[in-house]
Amino acid sequence: MIKKITIVTMVILMTAVLAYSQGRGQGYNERPLYRNRVNRLHTFDVTAAAAIEGKVTKVEKCIEGRGRYAAGVVLTVATGSQNALVRIGPAAYLNSNNWEFKQGETITIKAFKGTGKYEGEFFAAEVNQAGKQLILRDKDGLPQWRQSLQGKGRGQGRGRRR
């Protein structure tokens, strides 16, 4: 009897050790995603900042995801001989800050370079336009509109129970 218990215990321990040693892996991603200081995933590299200065040639709305902040604003900015595609942020956040973009305006943007499927694009962190400044993300890439997502509840996260 003791021999059977010992064998079963050894099999369980060996299985646990093998499963733990496998690690998490990368899944279907080709390369690791960038993470910021609070371990959130980004579609951009916070260590690769860029300054973009030029004229706005196109203002577009895009829809990605669901919810209040799904509708975003994307700008095409002419920077000399090239055009830069810059993802600004949610239209709702821009409207709440009385911020509007028009074609032909000169603009300066501090942005992070996109990664993965957003390679070649930029994600705005700070926008300067006509003497006004709008901060969109902090140095770690966390969006400023995340604070407006926080409700007035107690933070229990239980929703409505019946």
Query: Taking the model in full, what pTM does it have?
Result: 0.65
131 in a structural domain = yes
155 in a structural domain = no
24 in a structural domain = no
User: Residue 39 has what pLDDT?
Assistant: 46
Give me the CATH number covering residue 118.
Answer: 2.40.50.140
User: Residue 36 has what pLDDT?
Assistant: 45
Task: Could you list the beta-strand ranges (E) of 1-91.
Answer: 44-63, 71-79, 82-90
Which residues share a beta bridge with 114?
Answer: 44
162 in a structural domain = no
72 in a structural domain = yes
| Domain carrying residue 136 | 44-144
C-beta separation of 77 from 55 below 8 A = yes
Three-state secondary structure call for residue 48: strand
Which residues share a beta bridge with 53?
Answer: 108
Q: What is the DSSP letter of 95?
A: H
C-beta separation of 49 from 111 below 8 A = yes
Q: Which helix (H) or strand (E) holds 9?
A: helix 2-21
| Residue indicated by tokens 């959130």 | 40
User: Residue 48 has what pLDDT?
Assistant: 83
82 in a structural domain = yes
Two structure tokens written together for 62: 């895009």
In order along its 162 residues, the chain shows pLDDT tens digits of: 888 889 888 888 888 777 777 665 554 444 444 444 444 456 788 888 899 999 999 999 888 767 766 788 999 999 988 899 999 988 888 888 888 899 999 999 999 988 888 888 899 999 998 889 999 988 888 888 876 555 555 555 555 555
User: How many domains, in total, are found in the chain?
Assistant: 1
15 in a structural domain = no
36 in a structural domain = no
